[in-house]
A and B are shown apart, each in its own frame.
Chain A
């Protein structure tokens, strides 16, 4: 290939820029996992919330298929829901209370090397766990919360994220610091629930509870709740760990393929790229498709890649 001096200059500038962006990611989150570069596009770290694979039940039995799909979709980073990791105890004939007790006992003393084994599966495939999704609630004991953070840390997660509100968040304040991790606040769009993260004000209140709390802004839900996604990013980027990137229509509207709803996906991604903010973009969508989900992820990821190209 013949390179002109101008071409060479462009390549050098691009490489320096990429290195600088990698450095900013490294500074924010520690040593990056080598596999995550697979979905590092022009300085924006992408990953997937695998809820997108609607045809794949989120069970630990399906984890192998999940990892295969992530690699096939070019994803080097994932938000791993605990159900991909933990066993289930709600067998027929087992009461909900008994199943919950068994789950707690398992979390407090998982089989030796259990989380390390899963970490190896992910490492071997070159997939980094950015966050571990756990729906903490009142049924969790303190010891169980600590054990969950510990397991998540072994998996490589930088934080635990979940669909909980202000009350549970208050209880979680002492935990992430003990493990050198963060708690990711994930907003939904229920504006009628005073405990829910849905409005910007509710999220600011949540973030004020602890410096270890970071926002995992869900662009679909925030758009449906008539929130200003770009404004939120500009105002609170230093408290954001990531975004769940997806599209919906305003006014409690329906989910839509990327670009067909009201979520400003392109503006958000370019703002992250241009400012070199270490904010991870996790694709997550809920719109319907007749295509296999793996193809749909490809299409949505292509949309995002073009946005930051």
Chain B
């Protein structure tokens, strides 16, 4: 009996060594897709974007190829909230177009698949716009225009006599700019569970900042920075 047990142990050990030394064949195109993302929600969204062929025309990171719409700067994507505009367009396609190949319709996709595509489009757009804005030369803003923008866009959550009181004394212009462009949570990793919870509890503020990031112009950022810097 002892011999049998020893034999089993030896075989098991040999098998584990063999398993470690055998190269694992992964049919995953890291050259095109890049290394897997730590955030599983985003990784799934990215893979969905590739699997349905979106990446080949619109670009994996939304740098479009050929005649495909530039999703990084599309006004429709900028106005979309959780697929409110992108979803119906995906289902219907754009059959009437001046382009060589009309945008196909994806009417057979499930709601979850559409949601994943929307998630990736917004995420990639946020990353891309962030890079564009941070790479742009820093300009001097107009505090008056910044105040108007703040009251129109930010005042539903923030106030300069409340949470942002004296903000211009506490932070200099580069710090304010950085905080506007990269609000807390932009780079936080999620799980499928936290993503679901975010929808109902933590989401709105974060989503609002992300949506703003997708639509800021360099001029608007400079103006808001000038305004907040003047709040003493």
A residues lining the B interface (CB < 8 Å): 54-55, 163, 188-193, 196, 221, 224, 248-249, 251-255, 286-293, 295
Is B41 an interface residue when CB atoms closer than 8 A count as contact?
Answer: no
B54 and A288 contacting across the interface, CB-CB below 8 Å: yes
Interface centre among B52, B96, B100, B107 (most CB of A within 10 A): B100
Given contacts A54-B56, A188-B100, A251-B105, contact A290 B50 (CB under 8 A): yes
Is B104 an interface residue when CB atoms closer than 8 A count as contact?
Answer: yes
Question: CA separation between A251 and B91, bound complex, in Å?
Answer: 12
Range of interface residues on B (Cβ < 8 Å): 20 to 34
Closest to A293 in B: B29
Given known contacts A191-B95, A293-B32, what 11 new A-B pairs fall within 8 Å (CB)? A55-B32, A192-B95, A192-B96, A192-B102, A224-B104, A252-B93, A253-B105, A254-B53, A254-B105, A290-B27, A290-B33
What residues on B are CB-neighbors of A288 within 8 Å? 49-56
- Show 22 residue pairs from A and B whose CB-CB distance is below 8 angstroms, ordered by the A residue: A55-B31, A190-B99, A190-B101, A192-B95, A221-B101, A252-B93, A252-B102, A253-B105, A253-B107, A254-B104, A255-B53, A288-B49, A288-B51, A288-B52, A288-B55, A290-B27, A291-B29, A292-B27, A292-B32, A293-B29, A293-B32, A295-B27
Is B163 an interface residue when CB atoms closer than 8 A count as contact?
Answer: no
A291 and B27 contacting across the interface, CB-CB below 8 Å: yes
What residues on B are CB-neighbors of A290 within 8 Å? 27-29, 33, 47, 50-51
Is B98 an interface residue when CB atoms closer than 8 A count as contact?
Answer: yes
What residues on A are CB-neighbors of B27 within 8 Å? 290-292, 295
What residues on B are CB-neighbors of A189 within 8 Å? 101-102
Distance to closest chain A CB from B124 (angstroms):
15
What residues on B are CB-neighbors of A192 within 8 Å? 95-97, 102
B residues lining the A interface (CB < 8 Å): 27-29, 31-33, 47, 49-56, 93, 95-102, 104-108
Closest to A191 in B: B95
What residues on B are CB-neighbors of A295 within 8 Å? 27
What residues on A are CB-neighbors of B108 within 8 Å? 249, 253-254
